[in-house]
Structure formats: structure tokens, C-alpha cells
Amino acid sequence: MEENNNVLTDRKTKLKFLLSSWIKKDSNKLFLLILVLAFIVRLWIFFKTMNQPIWWDEADYLSAAKRWAGINPNVIDIWYYRRGLFWPLFNSLFFIFGIDEIGIRIALVLFSTGIVFVSYLLIKEMFDKKLATLVGICLTFSWIFMFFTGRTLSNLPSTFFLLTSLFFFYKGYVLQKGNKFIYLFGLFFALTCLTRMQYLLSAIPMIIFAFIKERHRFLLNKQLWIAIGIFAVIFIPQFYMHWQHFGNPVTDLAKFYLGVGSSQTGEVGVKLAKTSDLFLYFNNLPYILDANQKGYYTLFAFSPLYFIFIFGFLLFFFDTIIGFDKIFNNLEIQKRFFILSWISISFLFMGYIAPHLEQRYIMETLPFLFLIAVYPYILLEKFFAGKFKIREGTFLWTISFLLILILIPNIIFGNNLTELKKTSNFEVKDAGLWIKQNSNPDDIIMSDSLPQLTYYSERSVYPFNLAPRRDSVRHNNESDFMDFVETNKPKYMTLTAFERQEDWVFALPQKYPELIVPVQVYKQNEQPVFVVYEFKYD
């Protein structure tokens, strides 16, 4: 017994010594401060947005989560089975245990803070602590991460899982620090793709990295195949559900997202970009880095971080360009080429399938974009070290302070955007809660605010084209709609200024005034923007 107590005391002493030694280093103190700041900023966003209404995509995940949690299980299934199942499944746990939406929002605070943490670990392994610290500052105050911490979307958790999987890939496969890291890579990459299918594409730059590191020999790496096996086993439920609804997932996704081959469902797929739109995200870099909306296509708008990024880009990739013939033998060139492919493939692909431009789609590139922007720190440090006797820690703290000053537009814009959008769709939320209080669980609602009303009212909601899921058959005509009304006897319908609706839909209350009667009106600036109508069948 006494021997066990002595062992425990020794372990406590060693741990205390390690922690005290770690915290003495300036770079570690600064990183710890940044991580705390990242958490505080995200907690600040949480308190601003904890009661804000949800948007269309958010409701798609949350309404499925409620249904899977058993809250009114008779509500029709509106889940879109081309999406990864992890996020609604994860969210359903909060509803099962009665924590509801507030718990999901707290989880987003942790995921968003975790992105700062794992990005620091990744950049530290690939380069050094100082660059990792500066990247952490940029991520902490990036308007993109600030704003989307308040939105219950899959982007933050999927980005966290992806960067974690990349960290394990680099540490296990590239640095060969242990096979367990390669297996963890397989696990976290599976969670990544189960959360957001878009990130399947991230396998391409990883394969490129493996090829330039080992050429064809990477195909004989046993540990990588085990990681792929772990990925495949975890992915079985997603694969099965996708096949049930759309046929072969490989051919279906290729057709639907890339326009390649044929799909068993016969759907057209996403609207693909024109060739001129492929570079949308490249052109949007001033806005992504500096929140500079005026800097979209021009170099003349004042975007300090963007200008530093241009200089950093030339500096960062200079050795890669002049030494490209040495790429199979030089790890530094391999790392930089991997980062270039990671950013370029993501930008081009999202420009191809998402020409409407949403910055949240390229979150996974931000740690590397910020790495390129802060890379000139290396030259500054060498210059000042040679000219002046400045302590290394003092210089890092000074640069960090200046970087925060440069990021002030990000902080202001992130806060203003959050404030501007936090009341949008309040009318839809209020209407959904009113419908819940004034209807029975088996009642049907007709509305094009489909997922939002499904979530708030906990009732089955059909759009006017009678297609509750995107893979459902659509009927864009009044005759089929009225046949549906006669057969299924919906309780309410809604008209709104927030959704695109056909002319015949807006004409319904005037055409059938005794059947369709307004019962609730929600206004903005004295103008009706959301109206609830009741069907009076008598």
C-alpha cells in the first residue's frame, strides 16, 4: 500500500514538473493565452446566438435529429440521404437526454475552439511552434469561424475531424511516430466524411502526398490499408442508406456532383459552374482573409493580411518552384506542394459545384492560408535577430500583438454579421411554435419553409410541390396540390416572403377564400412577411 502511494506521489511530482517547465516557455504561454481567447470569443458568440432562429440547412439537420430522437416519430422523413448521417445522429443525443438545441450550440463552441487547438498541433508538427502560434491567432479572430460558431451546421465539426485526421496522418504516416496514429487517421477521416461528404475529396491531396513521398510503394503500406479498412467499416451504415435511396453511391455521387456517368435516380444533380466560375474562391481571398468585401476582384482595396499573404505565398513556395525536380527526395518541398494541392483542389472543386460562393465551404483550407500569410515572420525574425539584441520571446509577443491589430476588421465584421443575421427568420420560428401549440401531432402543414417548420412545429410539413425530400417526385401545379388537400386534409398552410414560391401558390387564398383563411400574420416594418392560413373544410 505504501509502495503504491509512493508511485502515485512520484507521478504527481513528475506531472507538476512537466507542466511548470512547459508553461515557462514564452511560446507555450502565448499559445495557452490564444486558446483561452479562442474559447472566450466563441462563448461570446454563443451568448449572442443561443436563441437565434435556425436557417434552412440547420433545420434540415435538426429536424432529422428530432425525428431520430423519437420526438414525434410520425413526422414524415425529410432527411436527404446524400448527406453524411453523423451530425443529425450526434444532435439527436442532445434531444434524447433533454438538453436540446442549447447543448448542440455549446458543442459547436468546443468544436470551433478545437479547430484552433488541432491546427496548432498540425502546424507545429509540420513546421514549428512560432508559426503554429501565429496561425492560432488568425483562426481565433477569423470572421468565418466567429460567425459560424453561431450556426448549427456541419462545417465546424467536420473541419475539426478533418484537421484531426490530417494531424494523425502526418504524425503517423509522414513522421512515422507510431502505427496507432495511422489507425486514428482512418477513424477520424471516417467521422469527417460521415459529417460532411464534401471532404471525401480531401483524400486526393493525401494520396498525392503519399505518392511523392514513396511513389508507388505507398500502395504496399500495410498500416494505410488497415486505416482504409477502419474507414470502410465505420462507413457501412452511410453506404447502405445511400444505396437504398440512390443506388451505387460511387456512380451516384460522380453523376450528381461531378456530372460524370449516370445516376439510377435520374436526377439532374447540382448546378455545376461555368469554367469562369472555377476561380471564385481564389478571387474571394481578400474577403476570406480580411473581411474586405470591396477587395473581391481588386488589389487596390486595403486588405493588409491579404497583401502579406501575397508576399508570404511567393516566399513560402519559392523553394518548391526552383527545386521541383527534387520533390521525391525533399520533405520540405513535399510539404509545401501538399499544402498547395490541399488549397487548390478545395477551391477549384467548390468553385465547380458551388458557384454561389459560401466561405464556410473552404474552412479546412484556412489554417494553411493563414500559415502562408504569417510565413514572412521567418524573415522578420532573422533580420531583427541579426540587427538587434531582441529576446526571441519578446519578438514573438510583439508580432502577435501587431497581428491582432491587423485582424481587428475580422473581429468587427464577425460581430456585425452575427448581430445582423441573428434575428433573421424569427417570424418562421414564431409561426412554427404557434402551429405546434394550435395543432395535433398528426396534423399536416403545407409550406415551402419545410425544414424550419418541421423542426419548430414538430408536424409533418409538405411543400407546395409535394416533395418533402429533394429526391421526391415534384408536382408544380395547382391541380395536384388541390387533390392532395382534398385527400389528406392539411390543417394549415403558410405563405412567406422568405421563400421563392410560384404565382399560383400566392393566388390560392384569393381563389379559395372560404377554404383558405388567414389566422396569423407576422410583419416587418408594418409589411406582412409570413402568413399562416387555416383550411376550413366545413
pLDDT single digits (tens) 103-131:
999 999 999 999 999 999 999 999 999 99
Q: Is the pLDDT score of 248 beyond 70?
A: yes
Which residue in 245, 203, 220 sits closest to 471, CA to CA? 245
Cβ atoms 249, 239 nearer than 8 A? yes
**Mean pLDDT, rounded, for 190-214:** 94
Cβ atoms 349, 367 nearer than 8 A? no
**Mean pLDDT, rounded, for 45-56:** 94
**Confidence (pLDDT) at 9:** 65
- Comparing 233-242, 389-398, 413-422, the range with the smallest average pLDDT is 389-398
**Confidence (pLDDT) at 278:** 82
Where exactly are the structural domains of the chain?
2-49+80-421, 426-535
The residues, ordered by sequence, that sit 6+ positions from 8 with a Cβ below 8 Å of its Cβ are none
CA separation for the pair 467, 474 (Å, rounded): 5
Other C-beta atoms closer than 10 Å to the C-beta of 225 total 13
Q: Is the pLDDT score of 2 beyond 70?
A: no
> Which residue in this structure is represented by grid cell 414525434?
72
Q: Is the pLDDT score of 135 beyond 80?
A: yes
Computed over every residue of the chain, the mean pLDDT equals 88
Q: Is the pLDDT score of 263 beyond 60?
A: no
Q: Which stretch of DSSP H or E encloses residue 532? A: strand 527-535
Other C-beta atoms closer than 10 Å to the C-beta of 374 total 26
Q: Is the pLDDT score of 41 beyond 90?
A: yes
Q: Is the pLDDT score of 399 beyond 70?
A: yes
Q: Which stretch of DSSP H or E encloses residue 519? A: strand 516-524
Q: Is the pLDDT score of 208 beyond 50?
A: yes
CA separation for the pair 108, 43 (Å, rounded): 10
Cα 84 to Cα 61, 89, 205, distances in angstroms:
10, 10, 21
3-state secondary structure 475-516: CCCHHHHHHHHHHHCCCEEEEECCCCCCHHHHCHHHHCCCCE
Q: Is the pLDDT score of 476 beyond 90?
A: no
Q: Is the pLDDT score of 475 beyond 50?
A: yes
Query: Which has more confidence, 196 or 7?
Result: 196
Q: What is the DSSP letter of 54?
A: P
Other C-beta atoms closer than 10 Å to the C-beta of 381 total 16
Cβ atoms 274, 287 nearer than 8 A? no
Q: Which stretch of DSSP H or E encloses residue 446? A: strand 444-446
Strand-pair partners of 532: 494, 520
**Confidence (pLDDT) at 27:** 72
Most confident listed range (16-25, 236-245, 377-386): 236-245
**Mean pLDDT, rounded, for 419-426:** 89
**Mean pLDDT, rounded, for 140-161:** 96
Question: What topology is assigned to 426-535 in CATH?
Answer: D-Maltodextrin-Binding Protein; domain 2 (3.40.190)
Q: Is the pLDDT score of 518 beyond 50?
A: yes
Report the percent of the chain where pLDDT is more than 70: 89
Query: Which has more confidence, 228 or 300?
Result: 228
**Confidence (pLDDT) at 295:** 44
**Confidence (pLDDT) at 7:** 61
pTM summary value: 0.92
Q: Is the pLDDT score of 273 beyond 80?
A: no
Cβ atoms 294, 369 nearer than 8 A? no
Confidence of residue 300 (pLDDT cuts 50, 70, 90): very low
Confidence of residue 37 (pLDDT cuts 50, 70, 90): very high
Q: Is the pLDDT score of 265 beyond 70?
A: no
